[in-house]
Amino acid sequence: MRAVFRKGSKIKIRRTGSLILALVMCFTMTVQAAVVSAYEGNFDEVYKAEPIDTCQETFFRGDTYVKSEEFDDIYEDGNQYVMVIKSADEGSTQSVIIPVDRKNVEFSNAAAVEAFMSRENIPKEAIDSFNEKYQLYLEADEENIAPPALVLFEPAEAMVNKANGDPDQITYYTYNGWPMMTYQFNYTNLSSNWKTIKTGTATKDTASLVKEVSLSLGSILKGKLSFFSSGVSVLNAFLNHYGLTSTQVSKNVEDYFSARLVWDQVEKYTMRDFGGLTGWQTGLVTYKVTIKRLGQETYFANTGKVPYLTDRTFNEEVKSDHFDNPWATAFANGTYTVWEYISWSAGSVRYDFS
C-alpha cells in the first residue's frame, strides 16, 4: 500500500471529562445494546435494550436507530445519527456507538463552501482535501455530471448538550486508554476531469496497448475496469467505430487519448488526543472509492474524424486496508498522519483518489 507520512496538525477542539458511549453486542441473529455513562473513567450502565434482529437497528438514549442504506457505519433516527464503531480488539464482537452530527455541503453553493472551509474544529487535512476537490469542480467543463456534494459525520456536540454538558464537549472513543475519534466525509459525484494519457505521435502506440484502467493500493492491484464492454483496446475501438484499418491512422502531433473517472468517495480521518499543547492529531486517513463512470476520448488528426468519446457505467468498490477498523493503526502512527491512498492508472499515467 502507498502510505504517505506527514506531521499532523493540531485541531482546535476542547475535550472535557464528560463522555457518552453505548456498547453494542452484535450476534448472527440478535443485537444487545446498552447505554453507558462515563465520567473520569467511572462507567455506569443506565439503559439496556431488548435483543433485536441482525443489527439493522440499535438503541441509543431510548431511541431506535435504523442502519443507513447510504452511509457506512451510520444509523439514523430522523435527523439524529449515531456511528457504530467495531471494536479494535482482535476477535471481539463488541462495538461502540458514538453520536454524530450530520453536515451537508453542496459544491454548487458558494456560501456553504466558504463557511465550511473557514472551520477550525475539524482536521486541517480534511479541509485541504475538500479544497482540492472543489478546485477540480471549478475547473470542470462537463454539463452532464451533477455537481459534487459532501455529507460529513462528525463527533456530536448536540448530544452532550442535551445532557446539559459544555457546548465544547465532544463524544469520543477510548482506545488503549486514549481518547480517539473519527470524522467521516462522504463525497458524491467527484470527477477527475479529463486527464491526458498520451498526446502527440506516441498516442497510437499507447492506444493500441491500453484496454482498461487499473485500481491499486500502492503496488497491489485491486482490479481493472475496461473502457469497452468488448474488452478491445482504445485504438481498436476507434477503428471499429469509424470502420477504419490501422494503416489508415497515421501519427500526428495533434493526436491525443484522454480518460475521465467519476466516483463516490468516503474518507475517514481518525484522530487521537495527546492532551496539552499537542491536542488532537490525525493519525490515519483511510478511503473507500466507488467508481461510477469511466470515459475515454480519442482523436487522430490525420483520419479527419471527430474525437471518439465513450462513457461506461460501473459500481466498483475499493477500500484502503484499514478503512473498516482504523483505530490501532492511527494510534500507532502517533502525531504523524498516514494517508492510505487508492490510485488509478492507464498507460504510464497514475493518479490518486485524494
The answer to whether 85 and 173 are in contact (CB under 8 A) is yes
Query: Rounded distance, CA 50 to CA 44, Å?
Result: 18
**Which three cell numbers, joined as nine digits, stand for 224?**
481493472
Structurally, the chain folds into a number of domains equal to: 1
pLDDT of residue 300 exceeding 80? yes
The answer to whether 268 and 183 are in contact (CB under 8 A) is yes
pLDDT of residue 56: 86
Q: Quote the domain boundaries for residue 37.
A: 2-192+262-297+309-353
- Beta strands 280-299 and 336-346: pairing type? parallel
Please report whether residue 320 resides in a domain: yes
* Nearest of 258, 284, 257, 246 to residue 192 by alpha carbon: 258
pLDDT of residue 91: 64
Please report whether residue 59 resides in a domain: yes
pLDDT of residue 51: 35
Structure confidence by residue, pLDDT tens digits, 257-270: 999 999 999 999 99
**Which three cell numbers, joined as nine digits, stand for 5?**
507520512
Please report whether residue 212 resides in a domain: no
Structure confidence by residue, pLDDT tens digits, 215-232: 999 889 999 999 999 999
**Which three cell numbers, joined as nine digits, stand for 260?**
475521465
Please report whether residue 18 resides in a domain: yes
Give residue 243's identity as a one-letter amino acid code: G
Q: pTM (2 decimals)?
A: 0.82
Please report whether residue 199 resides in a domain: no
The answer to whether 98 and 21 are in contact (CB under 8 A) is yes
Please report whether residue 242 resides in a domain: no
- Tally helices (H) and strands (E) across the chain: 6, 21
Structure confidence by residue, pLDDT tens digits, 305-340: 999 999 999 999 999 999 988 999 999 999 999 999
The full length of the chain comes to 354
Q: Residue 262: which H helix or E strand, with range?
A: strand 256-273
Please report whether residue 236 resides in a domain: no
Give just the sign of the alpha carbon dihedral 251, 253, 254, 259: positive
Using CA atoms, how far residue 180 sits from 98, 145, 151, 256, in Å, is 11, 37, 21, 48
pLDDT of residue 305: 97
Residue linked to cell 486517513: 285
Three-state SS for 115? Answer: helix
Query: Rounded distance, CA 103 to CA 112, Å?
Result: 10
Q: Return the beta strands (E) in 156-306 as ranges.
A: 173-175, 178-191, 195-199, 212-217, 220-226, 256-273, 280-299
The answer to whether 157 and 170 are in contact (CB under 8 A) is yes
Query: Rounded distance, CA 279 to CA 294, Å?
Result: 42
Please report whether residue 278 resides in a domain: yes
pLDDT of residue 5: 47
Cβ-based neighbours of 9, under 8 Å, separated by 6 or more: 123, 124, 125, 281, 282
Structure confidence by residue, pLDDT tens digits, 92-127: 666 778 889 999 999 999 999 999 999 988 889 999
pLDDT of residue 195: 96
**Which three cell numbers, joined as nine digits, stand for 129?**
482535501
